Amino acid sequence: MPHAELSYSSDLGVDAGEMLAVIEATIQRHDAGSGECKGRAYPTDFFHHSHMVVALSLLEKPHRDEAFTTALMADVERVIKSALPKSCFFSLELNYNSGAYVTNKHEVFT
């Protein structure tokens, strides 16, 4: 289950929900078995220079090699930048969590 976090200056006027959905779809195009992508967005009114910082986290898997990483990062960068309505500084980071990382879904039934 991937994670995506967006931190950005509020002057960008982005639709964070749509951007997170596009990131999820992009990850799934590269890895159909990746599952849903948990996303969070943190716009801020207090900033120095307009910016967008994207942090992605995925579990380590044998098929997520250097070629996969390069292709995924390029595609994510392309789809995010195509949704940015104005110029800004841009950063993208992709991290792989080790097998010692637990990610699942907690459900409460009443």
Query: pLDDT tens, 2-13?
Result: 999 999 999 999
Give this prediction's pTM.
0.89
Query: pLDDT tens, 35-94?
Result: 999 999 999 999 999 999 999 999 999 999 999 999 999 999 999 999 999 999 999 999
Residues contacting residue 64 through CB under 8 Å, at least 6 positions apart: 31, 58, 96
Query: pLDDT tens, 91-109?
Result: 999 999 987 878 788 899 9
C-alpha 14, offset from chain centre: 14
Structural domains in the chain, sorted by start: 3-97 (3.30.429.10)
